[in-house]
Amino acid sequence: MIRLDDYIQDFSNAFWSAEPVQPWEIIDQLETILTERLKLLGSDYFIKNNQAIHKTAIIEPGVTLKGTLIISENALIAAHAYLRGPVFLGNAAKIGPGSEIKNSLLLDHSAAAHFNYIGNSLIGHHVNFEAGSVCANHFNERNDKTIFVMHRGERINTGVIKFGALVGDHVKIGANAVLSPGTILEKNRIVGRLELINQTN
């Protein structure tokens, strides 16, 4: 069992306080989680069509927003970024120009600098994706597309065909690096520029 609080501080208190669940299960239930969270938001948010944008958030021209979204205090979404909900952006999260975020959570002070793709992933606090880095969520090249993860020496079958990564707090991911589907990164990990992370082959 992967304990999400080992990777992302206070995750269970902020997002999930019921029975333990795996990160890919959170992703599968993200639409429901955010829909319920929308009901608790106050007047500091503009809310319309299942999209909540904090009054202090900045959304630059050319941004495309689809589906259920919560964009928190002081978040920034730069020009021509594309968010495909369900997506949650934490306080002061930054999405750079030309980046695409799909079915994911990026928590407080995390940033996808520019021209990034992050799909079906849980991204902790203070994580930085340098330009062009990718968090892939699907094995296009395989006949059997089921995603496995490696967790502390154990190979776990997720039972899903779309899951990107669990990225712990304070991780730094270099420019043009690729996280293969099913990547799990402990807190404070550094991924080098142009590095490929493929933990289960």
pLDDT in tens, 41-52: 999 999 999 999
Active site residue 138: no
pLDDT, residue 18, reads 62
What pLDDT shows up at residue 15? 79
Distances, alpha carbon 103 to alpha carbons 15, 28, 43, 195, in Å: 15, 9, 25, 24
Each domain of the chain, given as residue ranges in start order, spans 4-16+25-45+55-197
Q: What is the pLDDT of residue 71?
A: 98
Enter the pTM of the model: 0.96
Read off the pLDDT of residues 156-195 as tens digits, 9 standing for 90 and up: 999 999 999 999 999 999 999 999 999 999 999 999 999 9
Q: Which of 54, 114, 125, 126 is catalytic?
A: 114
- pLDDT value, residue 21: 87
Chunk the chain into consecutive blocks of 10 residues (it has 201) and report each block's average pLDDT, rounded to whole numbers: 93 75 94 94 96 98 98 98 98 98 98 96 98 97 95 95 98 98 98 95 67
Q: Is 39 exposed, middle or buried (0-12, 13-18, 19+ CB in 10 A)?
A: exposed
Q: In the numeric block, which tokens belong to residue 75? A: 């978040």
Distance, CA of 38 to CA of 146 (rounded, Å): 32
For domain 4-16+25-45+55-197, give the CATH number: 2.160.10.10
